[in-house]
Structure 1
Amino acid sequence: MAIATADPIATRTIDGRESCARDTRCDKALVIGDDIGVFLSVARSLGRAGVDVDVATCGENYPGLSSRYVQNVRILPPYLTQPSNWLAALQALTEREEYRLIIPTSDSSLGLLALAAETIGRDKLAIPNDQALAAFTSKSRTRALAASLAVKIAQGRNCVASSEAFELFADGPFPQVLKPSQPYVTGGRDAKTSASIVHTPEQLSTAMKKFEGREIVVENFFAGEGVGVSVLAKRGEVRRAWQHRRLAAAGEAGRSSRRIGESPDPVLLRDVYALSRATDLTGVAMFEFRQDPATRDHILLEVNPRFWGSLALAVSSDADFPALLWQMLTGGSVGKAEEVPVQSIPMISLSADLDRLSDGSPGLVNSIRRSVDVIALLARAKLSPSRFDGWAKDDPRPHWAEVGQVAARLRQAAMRRLF
């Protein structure tokens, strides 16, 4: 992609916080910020390790930007509508500030940084090696690799979404899962296109129109619980492994809103080790499985070669992946550790759980029930903040900022109903 000239970069400095002076040498990182969860966990981890953290974002209303560990907020052009300008602004910022690492926190920022590797410098980007990127940023390639290694996957096939493809799958069996082979398309309208779970031919037709013209994977649905195995690896050797289980999610195919840490399953680890070795993985990744809680049978759903939504729970369990990645990529050594402490207390993403509770069937009774559940969630966030992703004892402001945003959202919804 050609890099176009960008407008000057806007900078918001966090008043009253110490940061490295422009004429001194220090460890500096730039984290690409998208929402409160992932970038905040990265900023806190690196900040505690003595790294000076800036956040690059297209918006200024994220609660995580109030963190004591965010030194500067760098406002870049919107990457969804202006990817070339975004890359140009990022290049200028990187040259000016001399960051040691630039860290993505979403599929979109990962994809854009991969495009900028030659321009900015591959050694400055905290993204996995090219072989792992190629295998794990495409659902169809991930399936092919898994099948070659005898890693279990759902029965399915690749196709281009169209009316002709609808005819191939219209007779079921249902439910079916439709997911784009590449969730993020450069220059597209969405940061990520989520999978769709369809239960009827009518829903299948709607989903095919949603993905029209894109390469998709159509799989048979596998019933079970979502389990994620997160790793740090170097040249295919796993140095840290940690596991969490989904307890609740915003929609059938949405992001998890409640999770709990648990001891890694040896069978899942076997698959993770095989995939990591096959791709010579260097970096972080989260391997997402669905597992039947009764039989322990499982399938691989996808691999995210970047930091993941449950990162706050991992860090609270002393599986401090951001600090370990920084150490590994800036010349330090990371010894292999098979076991890490497990945080057995469930943690909640306030924004994701609000979405989960707000979504439901129409009707007055259901609406009242949802309202009561949402009010209870907000009360819990105020009374038991340590159960939420945004909370940290040494950095409470982001959690209270998020609580304030949720309270304002509820007030606005109440006013709309009244008037």
Structure 2
Amino acid sequence: MQRHRDDASVLVPGIDAPSTVACLRSLHPRGIRTIVGSESRSTPAASSAYRDEFVTLPDPETELAAYGDALLSLAERPSVRTIVPVREEDVYVLAKHKAAFADEIATPWPDFETLRRVQDRVELFAAAETAGVGTPETELLDQWTDWNRETIVKPRYTVASPTYLGARFEDAEIGSTVYQRPGTPPDEQAVIEKRGHTPLVQERIADSREFGFFALYDRGDPVATFQHCQRRGWEYCGGPSAYRESVHIPALETAGRALLSELEWHGLAMVEFLRDPSDGEFKLMEINPRFWSSLPFSVRAGADFPYYYWQLAMDEPIRSEPTYEVGLGGHLLRGELSYLHSVATEEYPLVDRPSLGAAVREVATSLVTHPRFDYAAADDPMPFFQDGVNLVRAWLASRSNEDPETERDVETAAAIGTEIGDGSTDSSETGSPADGDPTRSAQTDGGSRSGSRPR
């Protein structure tokens, strides 16, 4: 049973993506005390004017069990009413131990068996077929035979954990999506050995624009929905969102609702689709069962999902029908820089690369036409600057891998990042122990690091 709380607080994990900051900016002005928990003091949310408290947590990528224990310990505080999942590890531990969390706080997220149907793409695509939702032609690697087509190889699971990989968890690398040139089949046994499981092969949908159906569900019923079309990703082939526009497409709404109804979904979901140019049908890519990295844009367009989530958790009615404005655009500036960098320096075998000049003009035009930014806000500027420092630090770190002489620059940037992260006032900080099982996440929404190797 949930205890009655007089001093309402919410715990939001702090990550590199803007979703944490969006939650703070939505909930804090409504009198809800905000707690940011993270393994890194340089997370942009730590410097937000809308953050009341910062708590140091174990790194869930290397200490998953300890991370879950720390979240449960915070949930036992009398003032904490719920926890907001913003990355795959968050929802994994919250669903895995939902009964324990339900004794302390509101739990507006799916149970673990439902979550497994989403994190195992074989089960997810089976659910999509039952729901009548389109999917790309997909088979396990050892069952695919037509290598003369354009294909991609991707992990079967969205989270690497002992639950899915079993004994191979300690030494396997779940990997990420890989494009396959026609006529060049991969070494099947080598791929399976390296990834620790049999990955999936999919036909490639020849359109890099991603369509997102975003939703909050209450035990199978939609509370609020939103749609956007991703016009640019971090790379010119796609990836996390750099620029997107709000849309309302009935066929996309129908597909997203049909799948979530089939799953009897509860909580947050980003359902990702590509539109097949051969027939115009929306084809399912994956579901992210948490807040998405472009959440600030959803809120700016009028879909205040953090507040809807809080209302659902508190059993409060949403007094007006949730609506949003169609035709707006929004940017993550770091993502735009990454996009231009990929155009200038990278090559993907199955995707035509635009000219650098055309790419620069396209980005510049949209910045002027749609001046909405995920981090930049006049009343809360520090997360934007901290994100910039983090970008410089990451760039210098990548250079140091090639040139040892840049290590001093990396250390200097790290010190600057710490100063910005500690710049806010009237906050408290709490530490947590760190020990436990690791996990690794492969995802496309920018919510966490991918492909890391835990110990």
Q: TM-score range by the shorter chain?
A: 0.7 to 0.9
TM-score where L is the length of structure 2: 0.72
TM-score where L is the length of structure 1: 0.78
Separation in structure 1 between the aligned mates of residue 6 and residue 74 of structure 2, nearest angstrom? 17
Paired residue for 1:41, among 22, 45, 58?
Answer: 22
1:280 to 2:264 alignment = yes
CA contact (8 A) 2:147 2:185 kept: no
SS at match of 1:387: coil
**RMSD of aligned C-alpha atoms?**
3.7
1:92 to 2:76 alignment = no
- The aligned counterpart of 1:120 is 101
CA contact (8 A) 1:258 1:348 kept: yes
Separation in structure 1 between the aligned mates of residue 76 and residue 399 of structure 2, nearest angstrom? 48
Separation in structure 2 between the aligned mates of residue 334 and residue 112 of structure 1, nearest angstrom? 28
Separation in structure 1 between the aligned mates of residue 46 and residue 17 of structure 2, nearest angstrom? 8
SS at match of 1:306: coil
- The aligned counterpart of 2:135 is 153
- Give the alignment of 1:46-125 within 5 angstroms: 46-96=27-77, 98-121=79-102, 123-125=105-107
Structure 2 unaligned blocks of 5 or more: 163-168, 347-354, 407-455
Q: Matched residue pairs, number?
A: 379
How many Å apart are 1:194 and its aligned residue? 3.4
1:262 to 2:237 alignment = no
Separation in structure 2 between the aligned mates of residue 384 and residue 393 of structure 1, nearest angstrom? 19
How many Å apart are 1:204 and its aligned residue? 3.4
CA contact (8 A) 1:104 1:126 kept: no
How many Å apart are 1:315 and its aligned residue? 0.5
- The aligned counterpart of 2:303 is 319
CA contact (8 A) 1:112 1:186 kept: no
How many Å apart are 1:29 and its aligned residue? 0.6
CA offsets per residue over residues 62-97 of structure 1, 9 Å max, x none? 223211111111111222222222222222232246
The 1:260/1:253 distance shift into structure 2, 3 A limit, reads closer
How many Å apart are 1:203 and its aligned residue? 7.3
CA contact (8 A) 1:196 1:253 kept: no
How many Å apart are 1:174 and its aligned residue? 2.9
CA contact (8 A) 1:107 1:191 kept: no
Moved more, 179-188 or 226-235: 179-188
Q: Give the letter aligned to residue 33 of structure 1.
A: G
Moved more, 385-394 or 27-36: 385-394
- The aligned counterpart of 2:445 is none
- Give the alignment of 1:333-344 within 5 angstroms: 333-334=317-318, 337=321, 339-342=323-326, 344=327
Q: Give the letter aligned to residue 43 of structure 2.
A: Y
- The aligned counterpart of 2:147 is 172
The 1:410/1:174 distance shift into structure 2, 3 A limit, reads same
CA contact (8 A) 2:6 2:79 kept: no
Separation in structure 1 between the aligned mates of residue 29 and residue 179 of structure 2, nearest angstrom? 41
Paired residue for 1:392, among 377, 380, 385?
Answer: 377
Paired residue for 2:273, among 289, 304, 309?
Answer: 289
CA offsets per residue over residues 145-182 of structure 1, 9 Å max, x none? 1111211111112x3x6xxx3xx546413321222222
- Give the alignment of 1:207-226 within 5 angstroms: 208=191, 212-224=195-207, 225-226=209-210
CA contact (8 A) 2:8 2:79 kept: no
- Give the alignment of 1:210-249 within 5 angstroms: 212-224=195-207, 225-249=209-233
Separation in structure 2 between the aligned mates of residue 174 and residue 361 of structure 1, nearest angstrom? 28
How many Å apart are 1:295 and its aligned residue? 5.5
SS at match of 2:24: helix
- The aligned counterpart of 1:204 is 186
Identity score, percent: 23
SS at match of 2:186: helix
Structure scoring higher RCO (CA < 8 A, sep ≥ 6) equals 2
The 1:321/1:132 distance shift into structure 2, 3 A limit, reads farther
The 1:203/1:173 distance shift into structure 2, 3 A limit, reads closer
CA contact (8 A) 1:350 1:388 kept: yes
CA contact (8 A) 2:224 2:322 kept: yes
Q: Give the letter aligned to residue 150 of structure 2.
A: P
Moved more, 127-136 or 295-304: 127-136
- The aligned counterpart of 1:310 is 294
CA offsets per residue over residues 354-389 of structure 1, 9 Å max, x none? 3333335659xxxxx989x89x989x99x9995321
The 1:385/1:238 distance shift into structure 2, 3 A limit, reads closer
Separation in structure 1 between the aligned mates of residue 310 and residue 192 of structure 2, nearest angstrom? 42
